[in-house]
Amino acid sequence: MSLMKDQENNKPEKKAGKVIYRILLVVLIIIILAAAGLLVPRLFGVREYAVVSGSMEPSIHVGSLVFVTETDPSTLEDGEVIAYSSNGSSGVPVVHRVILNDRSEREVHTKGDANPTEDIFPVGYDQVIGKVVLAIPVIGRIFMR
């Protein structure tokens, strides 16, 4: 009889252990999928950036995660959204819309959708990081500091 009591007493502990195991497994799977979601695109030349300003509202919201693919600047068309370095290769990435691609001057004129006027300085081809191919709202907040 005491053996049966021991087995009955262990059942709640086994259930709790299984629940904890399942929770940890789900958390691990989520972490693996998130890491793969960020690492796999890099294998194909895609970089991601968190949007920290509202200059592209309402098209791209603050806190969005944008995926940018390397693009030959001479192929950019009016209306496409690009990421560029604000100050050469060491500058902060900016995401704005192309309003004019001046191929003869090798520069792109840009404007944030929420801004009333064109950006003051044109973007040189050497500053273009690439074209925004996907924007996912909210997810970028995870990467914002």
Alpha-carbon torsion angle 82, 58, 119, 129, nearest 10: -20
Confidence (pLDDT) at 87: 75
Which residue type is seen at 136?
A: I
The C-alpha atoms of residue 92 and residue 85 are separated, in whole angstroms, by: 6
pLDDT value, residue 29: 81
The answer to whether residues 11 and 19 touch, using CB atoms and an 8 Å cutoff, is no
Q: What is the pLDDT of residue 90?
A: 63
SS3 105: coil
Check residue 144 and give its pLDDT: 66
- pLDDT of amino acid 1: 47
Q: Tokens at residue 46, please?
A: 């895609």
Query: Which residue matches tokens 């929770």?
Result: 23
At 38 the pLDDT is: 63
Distance CA 12, CA 53 (A): 51
**Per-10-residue mean pLDDT for the chain, 145 residues long?**
51 72 83 67 76 92 92 96 82 91 96 95 94 88 69
